[in-house]
Amino acid sequence: RCLVQICPAFGGNIMASIITPYTRPQMATVRPKVMEKMLPSSSSKTQVIEVKPDLSGEDELVKIVDRIREEAGVEDLQEAEVIVSGGRGLGKPENFSLIRKLAELLGGAVGASRAVVDAGWIPSYHQVGQTGKTVQPKLYIACGISGAIQHQVGMRNSEVIIAINKDPEAPIFNIATYGIVEDLHRFLPALIDKLEKLSSGKG
């Protein structure tokens, strides 16, 4: 038997199947949140051998040249129960203020598609998808995201998916729990205004 490993290649544009038919053992790693954790099996007869290699001196394959502290206040997307993500449909980076405000009102984190990360609109640690983070929040709101397969694989296991896009043919609607065909530049400000009134007791 051969282990088949599937991973993104060519910048995440294709899915490559990798096999190693002539060497053993075979091993693969899985990103967090890709699948549910399995409970240990008491019936397993696998022998576990603990090895403590000495990687000091010339044997070191990796050399740490610097340590950079992550920006303060960065949300952990993989632990967030609510994620509001923005895509190219926002039109310009300044409009991410709508995404941030909605996420703040809902007590959630800010996510993004690869397209806007590549365009420099928002830092890469917000990216959700095949070459970003895999998430499973209780609520995922996709704003102006078309829903390419590379993005879907990173968020399709969310409990509830709300998609907001003015294109009724956008692929994101195929996996959405609720779909809203509307111009987000009109819809989001109205939604934010309503939520602000509700939070202040005026709604």
The distance from CA 26 to its chain's CA centroid, rounded to whole angstroms, is 27
Query: Tens place of pLDDT for every residue, the chain, 203 residues?
Result: 788 888 777 666 677 888 888 888 888 888 777 777 777 777 777 777 888 877 666 656 677 788 766 554 456 888 899 999 999 999 999 999 999 999 999 999 999 999 999 999 999 999 999 889 999 999 999 999 999 999 999 999 999 999 999 999 999 999 999 999 999 999 999 999 999 999 877 66
Domain total of the chain: 1
| Local structure of 169: helix, strand or coil | coil
Residue 164 lies in a domain: yes
Length of the chain (residues): 203
Q: Is residue 62 part of a domain?
A: no
Residue 14 lies in a domain: no
Is 44 within a domain? no
* Domain-embedded: residue 109: yes
189 part of a folded domain: yes
Domain of residue 109: give its range. 77-199
Which amino acid is present at 33? K
Q: In this structure, is residue 43 part of a structural domain?
A: no
pTM: 0.71
The neighbour count for residue 166, using CB atoms within 10 Å, is 15
Alpha carbon distance 146, 152 (integer Å)? 10
Q: What is the CATH number of the domain that holds 163?
A: 3.40.50.1220
| The pLDDT of residue 65 | 85
**Distance between CA 153 and CA 135 in Å, rounded?**
9
Q: What is the pLDDT of residue 13?
A: 67
Output Rg (C-alpha) for the chain, integer angstroms. Answer: 21
pLDDT at position 72 is 47
d(CA 102, CA 83): 10
The tokens describing 186, both together, are 């009109």
Specify the pLDDT at position 143: 98
Please state the φ and ψ torsions of residue 199, each to the nearest 5 degrees.
-70, -25
Residue type, 133: K
